[in-house]
Structure 1
Amino acid sequence: MKINWGWGIVIAFIGFISFILYFVIKVSTNDAYEHDLVVEEYYKQELKLNGQIEAEQNVLPFKKDIVVEEIAGDLRIKMPKDKVSELAKGTLLMYRPSNKKLDFTLPFQLKNGEMFVPKEKLVGGIWSVIIEWEENNKNYRFKKELHL
């Protein structure tokens, strides 16, 4: 049987579609490729958005005074002592956009206006540091992206 242009185009399309389907099936069934949501229960987090915006606005007057830096591998968070007291209660979320398995939460506890995150918990790459605390019946939220 002789293959003409029409059959050649049909065979090329079938080959291309088979090639694409092979990779779609391979990626969707292989556990090595993660395709999870960036954030679990994003609808619930969307409902909290107005409160988060208000909390972030509460931080604006002293946001530039908050220092997040890497010192000897550890992450140091320095808060202005006149704006944030040692008694502030809250959480520190270290959020890794590329891998949710690396995310972790620590209680927000200041000593001499500083808090340290040990280097054993940190892997090189892009992190979002999210600090949420309450003080004097007012919520605060600080967020900073950093590359370690």
Structure 2
Amino acid sequence: MAIFILFILGLGFYMLSKQGNDTLVESNYYEKGLTYDEEYNALENTFAEHAEPIITVNPNQLILQLKDSANYSLVLMRPSNAKADKKFAGKTIGKNHLILLQRNVTDKGLWLLDLKWESNNKNYQYKKSITL
């Protein structure tokens, strides 16, 4: 009986120590809720204008090709470890409107890609799960 009580107490202390480290809940969820309409409109622009990026993964690079030249912000989120998230921003490269990322800065496995860009005075957004 005493061992069972110690097990339950230990489990309780463990759960309390892990509280706040949940990577499935974003820390700024309230602020994101306030800007939901902007995000929804950007997602709608992407699909209505068939502006989804072409994603190519090779051993050395992650390549994203956009429809037009754009300023972008890209977040690669690791579902299993929020500390491994990567953020990138910049302008597309060349006449093919490419975003090039080196793969040596990312762990292998599942990543959530969240790409936001502005082109021709319109905002766009694209979200997808990818495996690197």
1:140 equivalent among 103, 124, 128: 124
- Aligned in 2, Cα 1:108/1:144: closer, same or farther, shift over 3 Å? farther
Question: Deviation above 2 Å: which 4+ runs of structure 1?
Answer: 14-18, 26-30, 33-38
Q: Percent identity?
A: 27
Residues 109-128 of structure 1 correspond to what in structure 2 (within 5 A)? 109-111=91-93, 112-128=96-112
1:72 equivalent among 52, 56, 59: 59
User: How many pairs were matched up?
Assistant: 128
State TM-score, norm by structure 1: 0.74
Which residue number in structure 1 is paired with residue 35 of structure 2?
48
Residues 25-104 of structure 1 correspond to what in structure 2 (within 5 A)? 25-29=13-17, 35-37=21-23, 38-60=25-47, 61-64=49-52, 66-80=53-67, 84-85=68-69, 88-104=70-86
Looking at structure 2, the residues matched to 69 and 50 of structure 1 have their Cα atoms a distance apart, in angstroms, of 30
State TM-score, norm by structure 2: 0.82
The structural deviation recorded for 1:27 is: 4.5
Structure 2, unaligned stretches of length 5 or more?
A: none
Q: RMSD value over aligned CA atoms?
A: 2.3
Structure 1, unaligned stretches of length 5 or more?
A: 1-10
The structural deviation recorded for 1:144 is: 1.1
The structural deviation recorded for 1:95 is: 1.3
Q: Which has the larger radius of gyration?
A: 1
Q: Where is the strand percentage greater, Structure 1 or Structure 2?
A: 2
